[in-house]
Amino acid sequence: MTETRSTCPYCGVGCGVIIESQGAEITGVRGDPGHPANFGRLCTKGSTLHLTASATVTRQTRLLQPLQRLVRGEAPAAVPWDTALDNAAGKFAQVVRDHGPDAVGFYVSGQLLTEDYYVFNKLAKGLVGTNNIDTNSRLCMSSAVAGYKQTLGADAPPACYDDLKHADCLFIVGSNTAWAHPILFRRIEDAKAANPALKIVVADPRRTDTVEIADLFLPIQPGTDVMLFNGMLHLMLWEGWTDAAYIAAHTNGFDALKATVRECTPDKVAQVCGISKDDLLAAARLFATSAATLSLYCQGLNQSSSGTAKNAALINLHLATAQIGRPGAGPFSLTGQPNAMGGREVGGLANLLSAHRDLANPGHRAEVAALWGVPSVPEKPGKTAVEMFQAAADGEIRALWIACTNPAQSMPDQATVRRALERAEFVVVQEAFATTATCAFADLLLPATTWGEKEGTVTNSERRISRVRPAVPAPGEARNDWSIAAAFARRLEQQLGRACTLFPYDTPEQVWNEHRESTRGRDLDITGLSYAMLESAGPQQWPLKEGESTGRVRLYEDGVFPTPDGRARFADTVYKPVAEAREARYPFSLNTGRLRDQWHGMSRTGTAGRLFGHVPEPMVQMHAQDMARRQIQEGDLVHLTSKRGSILLPARASAEVGLNQAFVAMHWGEEYLSGCSSTGARLAGINALTTPAYCPTSKQPELKHTPVKILKAELPWSLLGMAWLPPDAALAAQRALQPLMAMFPFATCVPFAGNTQGAQGEERSGILFRAAAHDAPDDALVEKIEGLLGLQVADTLRYADRRRGQRRSARLVRRADGSAGLEAFLLGGDTSAEAWISTLLREELPAQSYGRLLLSPGARAPVAVQSRGKTVCACFNVADAAIQAELGRCSGTPDERLAKLQGALKCGTNCGSCIPELKRMVRATPAEAQALTP
């Protein structure tokens, strides 16, 4: 077995991992105990990385050779790399000659490595001559960038992870850290345990798992963060909690802000934000008077039409109270993707240039042009993400190059995005996975490497650069992203008549060295860093200038900021409501966000059935009172409708969301949730609803708020099919079922995993297909679904009543122990028996005594069938029923009971992501019941 140190490809915490491999196969992964971001810990997603990189998954999901689609809508055909790149260069050159450089656009990803990002940025701005290059980081971090620059002068997070153990107050706002950054949350738990006096304030419209650790919870109304922060500053001024000396010595612009916050009285803030004046005062006091206050924030501040103002208003509080530039104090934005920071460093956004230079600055443009050896860099701002796809939909951008991202799932206003992809004359998708929705729109598909195969660097949230190393060779004909971009660029140079190449790279280190030189003299200067240092000394924080041996832990300790006069700038943040307000026709505020065990569009995590244990299917969370008023029962299908589209989802009552609010996970695209409207148009997941409105400064869209109406759906005919399938067939069956989802008004198709292992020791793989319609579909469609679930074989038990639209089928197999197990079933029409039949299959219970009873109508099980319940701990596959049973045998304090529970079942002892839920379950167990337990 070979071990290779690398990093996790998920959130921006930047966890170090050790990849275990044998030959060309990744066999395991564990946290790197020597990496300063995680010290060996991994979340559920990270600890299952090897499952998503298996040979079985690679065969079924990976793009392994270049493919060209000559006719839109038809299957693509394999072509050699040279042919693919020559065709791409010829097409892009033709568009540039005929329509100018701004007729092409590049949309890349925060999951690219820094070297990949650098080559793409140089390709667009240095060779093509367009600033039309943007990234999906525009959807997650651009407001943080704009907020830092507007106030502190540079896009440089001043704090670090180590500050958690020095803080006396943590102010967490707009971040479900427990789910979005689980390993960082473990460090928060450690800090609280080491310092019980640490006060934690959480502000969020939802009562998330992060709230479990809070001393004070502020359930603000969606989009009211600026009013909250201005109201806190109003009280700080009134109570004398600001630091006048620091303001006078190190800042500008405070007088204008004072005039603005004067109007933000406690009464007004309480009314707008929906919180009590006492809680507002308590939050202001804790923030201002604690010895050290550290704020943590993410998409709740960023994904907003006031995103820049939200970020700046929070930073205003730090400047006004001198809570910055010292251990435990400062504003700390949490990065959404593994290398969103690296993309910002190389200027891989439509309004930036290399090394945090501004596109609008003529001197900065001249510096970059000189470094690259080109006459000039274009000064016209490029199209940002939403603008780029709108321009393509309008016919302004004619050729699109999309790398390592899935805009046909992740972008808001999917109708416009898909119109853009259909109207563009030429679409290139450079991707590792052939299963993303965007791949269906590509004229050319180029196979890229992914985690475990790439080499380069990434930068995490605390400005720490880590090496990414390949553990296995690239599968098939896949190539590294920087290499693909450079090979295309050299061909494009020939087409455009350039004599000498701008892309003389043979290794990623050569690319990185050029990037390093671009940082000389900048705020992120890394001229003292090298690949060799990263190999010998490990991950390093920037800045790390030439001659220095280590990077800077935190910034602005001397009170000097990277602005022309060295002073920070207060931003005059005026509160503005959300872009689209709730109204009578659309009375709900729809919020979107992460699930604990899933990542973005699930192209990787969606291949591991185990990661669907915690939240197995798409749903919309609603307040129980809202459901009761609309006579919506638990599990009922509802129409979720905005001004842009409508989708169907089952409703679930949730204590997390407030009245007139709803929440749907961001991950559910058409790959897992689909259907067709009454007009025949295919529905495109949750982002069929979300608004393209964006912050005018950061251009980041408001994915955290969309007004919707929610109405109960009347779809009397339903279908449920579940099956265990061979590992080498499960994901292929899921892909084959996806087109059939569009034959129903509502359909979902998701994997699940077993509690036991298969014959070869691998985790058992299952597929669940659910659908609903007004009437029973044609028999041929249901038979096709049965066939993909392995139910079109001779030993399948069947029942059908065409007149009533009823259909059932089941297949039992003989197991090694001699018992019979349910291997697959389908219920059509009457699905009321789902609970006990699905339990038989999921729990792999003996089923020989059921036989034809599986085909009998009705919901009641012939004998009691005990379900394990919902998975709580994904690492050890522990469900809530076992946890409740064990808690019944535990006594003592809540902490003692939790410890006993963990000792008995191991839940929460690996990644710890389930600990907030375990604590909630401990509290919910009556002490009387435990006292009576012998």
Q: What is the pLDDT of residue 929?
A: 46
Query: Helix, strand or coil for residue 926?
Result: coil
DSSP 259: H
Which tens digits make up the pLDDT trace of 368-416? 999 999 999 999 999 999 999 999 999 999 999 999 999 999 999 999 9
- Cα Rg, the chain, nearest whole Å: 28
Query: CA-to-CA distance for 747 and 785, rounded, in angstroms?
Result: 12
- Could you tell me the pLDDT band of residue 728, with boundaries at 50, 70 and 90? confident
Helix axes 481-496, 81-99, angle to 10 degrees: 50
Which tens digits make up the pLDDT trace of 451-469? 999 999 999 999 999 999 9
Residue 660 in this model has a pLDDT that exceeds 50: yes
Q: Tell how far CA 12 is from the center of its chain.
A: 10
**CB atoms < 10 A from the CB of 464, how many?**
22
pLDDT at 680: 64
Q: pLDDT-based confidence at 683, cuts 50/70/90?
A: confident
Residue 637 confidence (pLDDT)? 97
Nearest to 138 by CA among 314, 307, 368, 296: 307
10: nearest Cα among 428, 421, 337, 397: 337
Confidence category of residue 678, pLDDT binned at 50, 70, 90? low
So what's the pLDDT on residue 677?
A: 67
Structure token digits, residue 855: 């085909």
What are the strands of the beta sheet with 293-297, ordered from one edge? 216-218, 199-203, 169-173, 293-297, 330-333
pLDDT score recorded for residue 796: 92
What average pLDDT score do residues 521-527 get? 97
Q: What is the pLDDT of residue 930?
A: 44
Quote the tokens at residue 766.
Answer: 């299952």
Q: Note the pLDDT tens digit of each residue in 155-200.
A: 999 999 999 999 999 999 999 999 999 999 999 999 999 999 999 9
The string of pLDDT tens digits covering residues 55-88 is 999 999 999 999 999 999 999 999 999 999 999 9
- Judged by DSSP in three states, 888 sits in coil
pLDDT for position 182: 95
Of the pLDDT bands very low, low, confident and very high (cuts 50, 70, 90), residue 859 is confident
Render pLDDT for 10-39 as a digit per residue (tens, 0 to 9): 999 999 999 999 999 999 999 999 999 999
Return the ∠ at Cα 402 (arms to 648 and 86), rounded to 5°: 140
- Does the predicted TM-score (pTM) go above 0.85? yes
Whether the per-residue pLDDT at 323 is higher than 80: the answer is yes
pLDDT tens digits along 87-123: 999 999 999 999 999 999 999 999 999 999 999 999 9
| Mean of all residue pLDDT scores within the chain | 95
Q: Has residue 777 got a pLDDT over 80?
A: yes
pLDDT at 757 over 60: no
Whose CA is closest to 448, among 74, 119, 96, 5? 119
Range with lowest mean pLDDT among 108-112, 580-584, 890-894: 890-894
| Neighbouring residues of 491: CB distance < 8 A, sequence distance ≥ 6 | 85, 86, 88, 89
Q: Does the pLDDT of residue 931 top 50, yes or no?
A: no
Question: Predicted confidence band at 926 (pLDDT cuts at 50, 70, 90)?
Answer: low
Sign of torsion, CA 289 290 296 300?
A: negative
Specify the long-range contacts of residues 898-904, CB closer than 8 Å, at least 24 apart. Answer: 898/922
- At residue 868 the predicted structure's pLDDT band, cuts being 50, 70 and 90, is confident
pLDDT of res. 681 = 66
Query: pLDDT per residue over 601-632, tens digit each?
Result: 999 999 999 999 999 999 999 999 999 999 99
Percent of the chain with pLDDT over 70: 97
Contact 323, 286 (CB under 8 A): no
Phi, psi of 407 (to 5 degrees): -60, -25
pLDDT at 220 over 80: yes
Q: 608-642 burial, b for 16+ CB within 10 Å, e for fewer?
A: bbbbbbbbbbbbbbbbeebbeeeebeeebbbbbbb
- For position 851, what pLDDT does the model report? 76
Tell me the DSSP string of 25-93.
EEEEEEE-TT-TTTTT---HHHHTHHHHTSHHHHHHHB--S-EE-SSTTSPPEE--HHHHHHHHHHHHH
